[in-house]
Amino acid sequence: MRLAVLGPPGSGRETIAGSIAASLGVPCLSLADAVQAEMRAKTPAALQALKHMNAGELVPDHVLLSMVRNRLTQPDVAAGFVLDGFPNHAVTAVALDAVLFDLGTLIDRAIDLVLPDAEVVRRLAGRRTCRGCGRTWHTEFAAPARPSVCDRCGGELFQRHDDNPDRITAGLQSYRPAAAATLNHYRASGKLTSIDATLTPAEITAKALG
Ligand SMILES: [Zn+2]
Query: What distance in angstroms lies between residue 4's CA and the mean position of ligand 1's atoms?
Result: 34
Q: Provide mean pLDDT across the span 87-108.
A: 96
Domain-embedded: residue 146: no
pLDDT at 163: 92
Domain-embedded: residue 121: no
Domain-embedded: residue 148: no
Are 161 and 169 a contacting pair, CB within 8 Å? no
Q: Provide mean pLDDT across the span 114-128.
A: 95
**pTM of this structure:** 0.90
Model confidence pLDDT, tens digit, residues 10-24: 999 999 999 999 999
Query: What distance in angstroms lies between residue 148's CA and the mean position of ligand 1's atoms?
Result: 10
* Bridge pairing between strands 127-130 and 157-158: antiparallel
The model's confidence at residue 80, banded by pLDDT at 50, 70 and 90, is very high
Domain-embedded: residue 136: no
> How far is Cα 47 from Cα 63, in angstroms, rounded to an integer?
10
- The domain total for the chain is 1
Model confidence pLDDT, tens digit, residues 169-201: 999 999 999 999 999 999 999 999 999 999 999
Any residues with CB less than 8 A from the CB of 80 and at least 6 apart, and which? 1, 2, 3, 24, 26
Domain that holds residue 89: 2-115+173-209
Query: What distance in angstroms lies between residue 156's CA and the mean position of ligand 1's atoms?
Result: 7
Domain-embedded: residue 144: no
Instruction: State the CATH number of the domain containing residue 59.
Output: 3.40.50.300
* Bridge pairing between strands 28-30 and 109-114: unpaired
Model confidence pLDDT, tens digit, residues 42-63: 999 999 999 999 999 999 999 9
Domain-embedded: residue 140: no
Share of the chain above pLDDT 70, in %: 100
Domain-embedded: residue 167: no
Domain-embedded: residue 14: yes
Distances (CA, A) of 49 to 85, 111, 113: 20, 29, 31
pLDDT at 137: 96
50, 73, 206, 204 alpha-carbon torsion, rounded to 10°: 20
Query: What distance in angstroms lies between residue 137's CA and the mean position of ligand 1's atoms?
Result: 9
Q: Provide mean pLDDT across the span 122-128.
A: 95
Q: How confident is the prediction for the chain on average, in pLDDT?
A: 95
